[in-house]
Amino acid sequence: MRFGLKLSQKATIDEHRAVWRIADDEGFDHCWNMDHFAALGEDPTGDIFEAWTLLAAMAEGTTHTRIGCMVTGNTYRHPAVLAKMAVTLDHISHGRLEFGLGAAWAENEHRMLGLEFGTVGERLDRLEDACQIITSLWTAPTTTFAGAHYQLENAIAEPKPVQRPYPPIWIGGSGPKRTLRIVARYADVWNMPGGTPAELAKSSHVLDQHCADVGRDPAEIRRTVQVRLPEEPADALPLVEGYARVGADDIILIVMGGIAETQAKQAATLLPHLRDVG
């Protein structure tokens, strides 16, 4: 199993830097931020920094750990722009980028920014289109795409990623009909945003069925889950053991702004024991 750290919302820049340093120094496999433009929860006014700008700083502030956004909201950026941003990060980090993508769900952010939100189905249509566009831009000399939401004509995208054919694509979400089918078609890694080991096992079985339908070997897709570091850090051990039993490949431990550095240090102390469990 692999283990990562993710810093959630309402964190200072100094806290971000501290978590990156701990992830890099203590041997975590990957380190993550989040992609939102307003704070989550009842009070949306907390500080939130832009995810991909932070990733550029993370790339320069680390040397070993892989980096990524868990996960990028597809609706916030045109997929061709996002593809270019990701390639830039892949080069800056010398091939350490993990590319996280999701359909997006925060309606208040779209409303306040004047972004099209649409229905769940429309956002999933856009996510599937984005996967096609981005992978083509990363691999083909030019890309032409004529869809309901995006149109490209002989689009050039150079340079190509350092990682070939491209950075691992993580798709987040657990919708059984559409999201997991998109995972089966396009993802290298599936991420479930929380949930119990039993829920992970159930969704993983649905993903296997979608893989069979589209002719994909399910073993090609890593199964991952993100969970908050418990108040008592040692409680993470039986939790990880439960996920390991149902086939989880990666666990991302979420640390919270305000106590992020302390929690990241606690997670680092646990890491050798977590690897034993894995």
83, 133 contact by CB (below 8 A) = yes
How do residues 58-67 score in pLDDT, each as one tens digit?
999 999 999 9
140: CB partners within 8 A, 6+ apart: none
Helix H or strand E segment including 189: strand 189-192
User: In angstroms, rounded to a whole number, what is the distance separating the alpha carbons of residues 94 and 249?
Assistant: 24
Residues of the chain above pLDDT 90, percent: 97
User: In angstroms, rounded to a whole number, what is the distance separating the alpha carbons of residues 266 and 160?
Assistant: 38
* Res. 10 pLDDT band, cuts 50 70 90: confident
Mean of the pLDDT values across residues 218-231?
97
How do residues 40-75 score in pLDDT, each as one tens digit?
988 999 899 999 999 999 999 999 999 999 999 999
99, 168 contact by CB (below 8 A) = yes
- 3-state per-residue secondary structure call for 55-99: HHHHHHHCCCCEEEECCEEHHHCCHHHHHHHHHHHHHHCCCCEEE
Q: At what angle do helices 179-186 and 120-139 cross, to 10 degrees?
A: 10
Tell me, what amino acid is at 145? F
Compute the mean pLDDT over every residue in the chain, rounded to the nearest whole number. 97
This prediction's pTM: 0.97
Q: Count the neighbouring beta carbons within 10 Å of the beta carbon of residue 219.
A: 8
Q: What is the pLDDT of residue 262?
A: 98
Mean of the pLDDT values across residues 100-129?
97
Q: What is the pLDDT of residue 153?
A: 98
Which domains are present in the chain? 2-277 (3.20.20.30)
Mean of the pLDDT values across residues 24-30?
98
Q: What is the largest CA-CA distance in the chain?
A: 54
Q: What is the pLDDT of residue 278?
A: 72
Q: Which long-range contacts (CB under 8 A, 24 or more apart) does 185-188 make?
A: 185/128, 185/131, 185/214, 185/216, 186/128, 186/131, 186/132, 186/135, 187/221, 188/220, 188/221, 188/222
Q: What is the pLDDT of residue 209?
A: 98
How do residues 129-176 score in pLDDT, each as one tens digit?
999 999 999 999 999 999 999 999 999 999 999 999 999 999 999 999
pLDDT of 9 strictly over 90: no
